[in-house]
Amino acid sequence: MNIGFIGGGNMATALISGFILSKTVKPEEIFVYDVAEEVLKILSDKFGITPSSSVPELEDKADILIFAVKPNVMPIVLKQINGFKNKLYISIAAGITLDTLTRALGSDKKIVRVMPNTPALVGCGMSVVCVKENIGLIGSDEIEIIDKLFKSVGDTVWLDEKYMNAAIALHSSSPAYIYMLIDAMADSGVKYGIPKQLSLKLAAKAVEGSAKMVLSGDKHPQELKDNVCSPGGTTIAAVCELEKTGFRASVQSAIDACIKKADSM
């Protein structure tokens, strides 16, 4: 099973690393095309993948083709694709809909849209997958392959495409919000005398542990929050300040802005 990547940026690197480390795909089964030769050299030296000199050459070699380029580059790339019925085409470009991909590649092609996130770099990614349900070209074999590939870098969720932009705001863009939260918490630690690296560790481990408790599914986040807040204690004082300064509203406004931008792409 040969996999071809068009684009060798951060997300492609995360996926390549995950595929190889999990032994889902062998290095010699991965081919990459990128306009920057230095990127290809770095990937080749680090992972042992095979560079390709053009998009058509890559398409010929690959059973699965992954579009890992910026949305504004996708129209240029799609014009270079021949389109084969026996190949699986996966786009991880934000804002590029299944309809757009189908018009470019043809309605008889196996097309999938996946939106991963950067925690895939450490094997903790979340990938949202969608296909055109009414076409029926994506069968159980393809579903198994897609799940196997993207679960090698975290977890997968299959979702109707109409929710994709909302999902992008919740899982793909949201690591940036979390990094801002961690950095702000760490800066406060520094303010009160704790070294920055230690402050970062304390804040990051709090986020990691809290996320695991939510994912365990035993209790709703509201209940978990209430359990930390002792009457008249330090935590409820902090929570009240967050509510007073519009913490929830700010988060929701940020997500609204993210979705609005995704809708306009």
Instruction: Express each pLDDT in 158-200 by its tens digit.
Output: 999 999 999 999 999 999 999 999 999 999 999 999 999 999 9
Residue for token digits 């770099």? 121
Judgement on whether residues 139 and 35 belong to the same structural domain of the protein: yes
Of 74, 152, 157, 80, nearest to 114 (Cα)? Answer: 157
Q: State residue 119's pLDDT score.
A: 92
Phi/psi of residue 116, nearest 5 degrees: -85, -175
Whether the per-residue pLDDT at 154 is higher than 80: the answer is yes
CATH number at residue 192: 1.10.3730.10
258 with 200, same domain: the answer is yes
Residue 115's contacts (CB-CB under 8 Å, 6 or more residues apart) are 92, 94, 127, 128, 164, 167, 168, 171, 172
Q: Are residues 87 and 185 in the same domain?
A: no
Same domain, residue pair 195 and 82? no
Instruction: Answer whether residue 134 shows pLDDT above 70.
Output: no
Domain that holds residue 240: 174-264
Number of domains in the chain: 2
Length of the chain, in residues: 265
* Binding-site residue positions: 6-11, 68-71
What percent of the chain stands above pLDDT 90?
A: 86
Whole-number pLDDT of residue 135: 55
Residue 42 sits in the same domain as residue 114: yes
Residue ranges for the known binding site for NADP(+) are 6-11, 68-71
Asked whether 30 and 63 are in contact (CB, 8 A), the reply is no
